[in-house]
């Protein structure tokens, strides 16, 4: 592959994917396409900005004319499609924007690939999705690649719709595709509307730590750099038409993870033990809040040899250290109205 388009490359997961590919594949040109919403920030990629095999294009994936022109001009060998609205609470407040970006945007990209990839033997459309399309688990069991879809929020429904479109283009047009569905990501450069960076930032500033309901919702946590490695493996070794689940094998109740954060932060900030935990505040639960997510990544491990590189506690420690060392980054991405809103909100994806 000589040229790869990464959509949403200025976002949290996308920036880690772009960084990995730019640094690892010097002979491959990485084109980062991002519309730069609140969650997309070119500050995330300052370290690769001047590299000869990297370029940035600002644009909207729902703009059919623009996307067609881009595909015609650049002759991409592969697309890694990460661009999406991904905030559950936002989808509840404004579902149509999620349908537009996640469903229509994916369709526009698929259609451009179908039109401009006349020879598809060395092409690949890689669609990155979420475990939320599967719905909610009970106390036991795991999501596998054959778990029926059962989305419960406008966000997860829009991602489920986009997954189905990708599969339809494979079946109908023979477009070469792969799909991956991942669990909750954590790590550096994540916009603080999400659980870990929000809680870290609020602990630093001694602000309330609002937790939905009883805090007993369970999530499987995946270090974002391990996710980027998985995407690399699937892009180069995945079987066409297949879906691969990516999980961290790390299940935590939301309240337990907040308590763990508080204990670690008290030590790092030289506070008395238990001081940060006093900030925990229980708030009204979110509508349709899924009880438990847990990914079975056995297929990815057995067929392609991927497994997480870090235990959760080590990844969490690295994550906390990054946010503590990059307070200016947090201040810049949460400036203006977002700063006031997100400092008092809790969202667990």
Please tell me the predicted confidence (pLDDT) of residue 88. Answer: 85
Confidence band for 163, pLDDT divided at 50, 70 and 90: very high
pLDDT higher than 80, residue 199: yes
Please tell me the predicted confidence (pLDDT) of residue 86. Answer: 83
pLDDT higher than 80, residue 339: no
Do both 105 and 165 map to the same domain? yes
Residue 301 lies in a domain: no
Please tell me the predicted confidence (pLDDT) of residue 336. Answer: 53
Residue 348 lies in a domain: no
Residue 347 lies in a domain: no
Do both 90 and 237 map to the same domain? yes
Residue 335 lies in a domain: yes
Please tell me the predicted confidence (pLDDT) of residue 161. Answer: 98
pLDDT higher than 60, residue 341: no
Among 40-44, 118-122, 219-223, 259-263, the minimum mean pLDDT is found in: 118-122
pLDDT over 90, % of the chain = 82
Give the model confidence (pLDDT) of 99-114 as tens digits: 999 999 999 999 999 9
Please tell me the predicted confidence (pLDDT) of residue 288. Answer: 77
- Give mean pLDDT, residues 262-277: 96
Do both 55 and 197 map to the same domain? no
pLDDT higher than 70, residue 42: yes
Do both 225 and 335 map to the same domain? no
CATH, residue 202: 3.90.25.10
Residue 181 lies in a domain: yes
Give the model confidence (pLDDT) of 307-325 as tens digits: 999 888 999 999 999 999 9
Task: From 210, 229, 246, give the residue that closes a domain.
Answer: 246
- Give mean pLDDT, residues 273-300: 92
CATH, residue 21: 3.40.50.720
Neighbouring C-beta atoms of residue 340, cutoff 10 Å: 11
Report the chain's terminal Cα–Cα distance, integer Å.
33
Do both 142 and 198 map to the same domain? no
- Give mean pLDDT, residues 162-170: 98
Please tell me the predicted confidence (pLDDT) of residue 346. Answer: 38
Confidence band for 342, pLDDT divided at 50, 70 and 90: very low
Do both 135 and 198 map to the same domain? no
Do both 80 and 176 map to the same domain? yes
Residue 214 lies in a domain: yes
Do both 129 and 242 map to the same domain? yes
313 contact partners, CB below 8 Å, separation of at least 6: none
With CA atoms as reference, report the closest residue to 80 among 234, 225, 241.
234
Residue 24 lies in a domain: yes
Do both 25 and 42 map to the same domain? yes
Domain count for the chain, please give it.
2
- Residues annotated as catalytic (active site), given as ranges: 131-132, 155
240 contact partners, CB below 8 Å, separation of at least 6: 124, 170, 176, 177, 178
Please, which residues bridge with residue 297 across strands?
none
Do both 202 and 232 map to the same domain? no
Residue 168 lies in a domain: yes
Give the model confidence (pLDDT) of 146-156 as tens digits: 999 999 999 99
- Check residues 1 and 55 and name the one with the higher pLDDT: 55
Domain range for 275: 191-219+252-291+312-342
- Check residues 90 and 342 and name the one with the higher pLDDT: 90
Confidence band for 347, pLDDT divided at 50, 70 and 90: very low
DSSP assignment, residue 277?
Answer: G
Do both 237 and 158 map to the same domain? yes
Phi, psi angle pair for 246, to nearest 5°: -120, 115
Sheet containing strand 251-253, edge to edge, reads 184-186, 218-223, 251-253
- Give mean pLDDT, residues 225-244: 98
Give the model confidence (pLDDT) of 111-146 as tens digits: 999 999 988 789 999 999 999 999 999 888 999 999
Do both 181 and 214 map to the same domain? no
In DSSP notation, 106-126 reads HHHHHHHHHHH-S--TT-EEE
- Give mean pLDDT, residues 158-187: 97
- Give mean pLDDT, residues 58-74: 97
pLDDT higher than 70, residue 343: no
Q: Could you tell me the pTM of the whole model? A: 0.93
- Mean pLDDT of all residues belonging to the chain: 92
């Amino acid at each position: 592959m000589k040229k790869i388009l990464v959509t949403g490359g200025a976002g949290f997961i996308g920036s880690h994917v772009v960084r990995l590919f730019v640094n690892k594949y010097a002979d491959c040109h990485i084109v980062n396409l991002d519309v730069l919403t609140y969650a997309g920030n070119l500050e995330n990629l300052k370290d690769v900005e001047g590299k000869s095999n990297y370029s940035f294009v600002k644009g909207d994936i729902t703009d059919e004319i623009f996307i067609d022109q881009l595909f015609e001009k650049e002759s991409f060998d592969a697309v890694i499609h990460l661009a999406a609205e991904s905030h559950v609470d936002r989808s509840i407040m404004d579902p149509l924007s999620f349908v537009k970006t996640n469903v229509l945007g994916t369709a526009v990209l698929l259609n451009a690939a179908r039109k401009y990839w006349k020879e598809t033997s060395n092409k690949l459309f890689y669609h990155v999705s979420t475990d939320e399309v599967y719905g909610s688990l009970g106390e036991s069991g795991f999501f596998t690649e054959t778990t029926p879809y059962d989305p419960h929020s406008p966000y997860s429904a829009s991602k489920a719709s986009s997954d189905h479109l990708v599969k339809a283009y494979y079946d109908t047009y023979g477009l070469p595709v792969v799909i991956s569905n991942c669990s909750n990501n954590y790590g550096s450069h994540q916009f603080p509307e999400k659980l870990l960076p929000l809680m870290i930032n609020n602990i630093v500033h001694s602000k309330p730590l609002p937790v939905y309901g009883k805090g007993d919702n369970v999530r499987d946590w995946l270090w974002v750099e391990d996710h980027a490695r998985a995407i690399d493996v699937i892009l180069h070794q995945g079987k066409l038409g297949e879906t691969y689940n990516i999980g961290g094998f790390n299940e935590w109740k939301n309240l337990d993870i907040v308590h763990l954060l508080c204990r670690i932060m008290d030590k790092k900030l030289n506070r008395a033990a238990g001081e940060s935990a006093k900030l925990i505040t229980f708030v009204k639960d979110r509508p349709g809040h899924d009880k438990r997510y847990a990914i079975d990544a056995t297929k990815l491990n057995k067929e392609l040899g991927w497994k997480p590189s870090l235990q959760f506690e080590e990844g969490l420690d690295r994550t906390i250290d990054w946010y503590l060392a990059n307070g200016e980054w947090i201040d810049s991405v949460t400036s203006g109205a977002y700063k006031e809103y997100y400092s008092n909100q809790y969202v667990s994806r």
